[in-house]
Structure 1
Amino acid sequence: QYTLVTAGLTDGCDFEVTVDLAALYEAGLISEDDLGVTPVTVTYTATLKEGTTAGDYYNTAWVSYPNSETEQDKVKVETFKIDVFKYDQADEKGLAGAEFALYDETAIDQDGNLIEGATPVLEGIVSGEDGHVVIDGLDAGKYALVETKAPDNYVKSDTPLMLTIEAGIEPNVVNVKFANSKIPHTGGMGTMLFTASGMALLAMAGAVMVIPHSSRKKEER
Structure 2
Amino acid sequence: MEQLRVREKAATRELDAIAAQRRRLPMVELPDYTLVGEHGPVRLVDVFQGRRQLITYHHMWEVGAEWQCFGCTSYTAQFTRLEFLEPYDARYVIVAQAPTDELLAYRDRVGNRMEWYSTYDSPFGADVDAPRGGAFAADVFLRDGDTVYRTWHTTGRGSEQLTHTFELVDLLPYGRQEAWQDAPEGWPQDEGTSVRWLAPWEVAAGSAGYRAGACASSGPPHFASSSCSRAAPTV
- Bin the TM-score by the shorter chain: under 0.3
Radius of gyration: which is bigger? 1
Q: More relative contact order in 1 or in 2 (CA 8 Å, sep 6+)? A: 2
- In proportion to residue count, which structure has more helix? 2
**TM-score when scaled to structure 2?**
0.21
- In proportion to residue count, which structure has more strand? 1
